[in-house]
Chain A
Amino acid sequence: MDTSIWRPILYLIGFMAFAGVNAAWLGWAERKGAAHIQRRNGPKEVGPFGLWQPLADGIKLMTKQLLIPSGTDDILFRIAPILAMIPALTSMVVIPFSGNIQARSIDMSVLLIFALASIGMFAILLGGWASGNKYAVISAARVVSQSIAYEIPMLITVITIVMITGSTNLQDIALAQQGGFWHWNIFRLEGGHFVYMWIAFLIYFICSVAETNRAPFDMAEAESELVAGYMTEYGSMGFGLFMMGEYLNIVVGACMTTILFLGGWGSPFGFLPGIWWFLIKIYILIFTIIWIRWTYPRTQIYKLLNLSWKILIPFSLVNLLVTAAFIKVF
């Protein structure tokens, strides 16, 4: 089976289906979650609990005319929404969904994921600039500064995990945390040296929310200041693809947080096969991200950058130093 031509094709179909279903129904989950947090009902007309709402939305978006305003950069305007989905889809190749569900286990999968994450804002930059709209251009500039600022503490925190595990393979990192929740990197109770790892988890989680452009850090599409930022000129499926890209980024971010800190597919007590635990963990994280979005108001761009440069980077550097010292001493 390993060398068969069907394996990559099956994985490709699987990833596409996973991505499509997630992108569609996370939209529903977000609307439902937002509605209940704000004491509303949310979508409820189409199907039970509005469950078929994503299908209706999809048909509506696809039948709408793809409008390209005059004065835009035609080619880039069409390419940008497609580019928005590519990095997230590509990084699924190396994510271990369970002990034996992984398309390809390469040695440097952590590096691959963060290399792809660093070019994630690329689509937004191009889309915003190609729109030729002042709001969109401001949004594109913001995305770049935000993404660069939050990549640094994120990578430094990931390095501490890599140092503790001694491997840059996601599979190895998850394997090192098997056998009960006290082995997970967020707790690390057994040795007693790394009990402060929840600080690293907090830094990483904040960074991953900021990297995916979610509220309270969604400076790129701040409706109150920039109309809709880079999406201002997009309608129909262009808008749809940008939204799908955003949800896919959230899914990949949740997968990475699960693998790096929450034990991957490892079950906390020891029942149920691994894949279910992995899915449960990522959906709890995704729900938390939705919850945060509808609870906290949007920050301002300079506060956002200050948070990264003045708080998160010093903390993550100290964390790195302390971890290195502990590894050397014990």
Chain B
Amino acid sequence: MMSDLLFYGLVTTLVLLSLLAVSLPNLLHGAIALIGSFFATAALYIMLQLEFVALSQIMLYIGGIIIFMLIIILLTSGLGQENRYMVKGRRRAAGAGVSALLLIGLLLTISQPSETLQKATLRAAPVTMDDIGFRLMATNKNGFIIPFEIISILLLVALVGAVVIARRDNGQEQES
């Protein structure tokens, strides 16, 4: 009962914020509505006991990508600048048609009881950090050891590269 109420509250917030994100004339306000909708999604993940996914949602999408989006917006647009575009009637109709098709398709897929979907849901529900760690480091055919190692080396290279770039700048400063 309680969790149902919470779920509907969260979903309403999610839909409202997503609508705001695409309809607000000010780009920055739109980005902030997008952040809100990401938070609502993270809360939904937590309700589904997918804590790792929720936290990566917050860390990667909000902490990483959105912050860079914000900086780009802040650097390129003026304060309170509004972008209003007139959309022609024909385009509006086309957009409505595409979204209606998508909605019908989704409704048809979800309303049909599918065995694979149910099985997948059951298997996915409580994922612990240990599971993820073992899966990432596994060397068998379900493992992700090679991409994991490549990414870790890539990140280390980026980090060391940043330090090297910073060092070189300072050296030139001292010489001149």
Known: A129-B74, A144-B71. A107 touches B51 (CB 8 A): yes
Q: Considering the chains assembled together, what is the distance between the CA atoms of A130 and B78 in angstroms?
A: 11
Q: Is the Cβ of A313 less than 8 Å from the Cβ of B80?
A: no
Describe B's contact surface by its main secondary structure.
helix
Interface contact B79-A107, CB-CB below 8 Å: no
Q: Is the CB of B58 within 8 A of A116?
A: yes
A314 at interface, CB cutoff 8 A:
yes
Name B63's contact: one of A115, A140, A168, A306 (CB within 8 Å): A115
**In the assembly, what is the distance between CA of A129 and CA of B55, in Å?**
27
Residues of B within 8 A of A313 (CB): 159, 163
Determine whether the beta carbon of B159 is less than 8 Å from that of A73. Answer: no
Report the minimal beta-carbon distance from B6 to chain A, rounded to whole angstroms: 11
Roughly how many angstroms separate A306 CA and B162 CA in the complex, as a whole number? Answer: 11
A76 x B59 contact (CB < 8 A)? no
Residues of A at the B interface (CB closer than 8 Å) are 5, 71-73, 75-76, 79, 106-108, 111-112, 114-116, 118-119, 122, 125-126, 129-130, 132, 137, 140, 144, 152, 168, 305-306, 309-310, 313-314, 317
B121-157 vs A, Cβ < 8 Å mask (1 yes, 0 no): 0000000110000000000000000000000000000
Minimum Cβ distance to chain A for residue B8 (Å) = 17
Contact B55 A112 (CB under 8 A): yes
Interface residues contributed by chain B, number (CB under 8 Å): 27
| Contact across chains for B51 and A144 when beta carbons are under 8 A apart | no
Q: A73, B58: Cβ atoms under 8 Å? A: no
Tell whether A115 pairs with B128 under 8 Å between CB atoms, given A73-B28, A144-B71, A313-B163.
no
- Complex CA gap A107/B74 in Å reads 36
C-alpha spacing A306/B174, complex, angstroms? 14
Additional A-B contact list (6), CB under 8 Å, known A115-B55, A132-B79? A107-B129, A111-B59, A112-B51, A115-B58, A122-B35, A314-B163
Closest B residue by C-beta to A87 = B58
Interface hub of B52, B55, B163, B167 (most chain A Cβ within 10 A): B55
List chain A residues, Cβ under 8 A from B162: 309
Residues of chain A lying within 8 A (CB to CB) of residue B32 = 76, 79, 126
CA of A112 to CA of B57, assembled, Å: 11
Please indicate the chain A residues that have their CB under 8 angstroms from the CB of B59 in the complex: 111, 114-115, 118
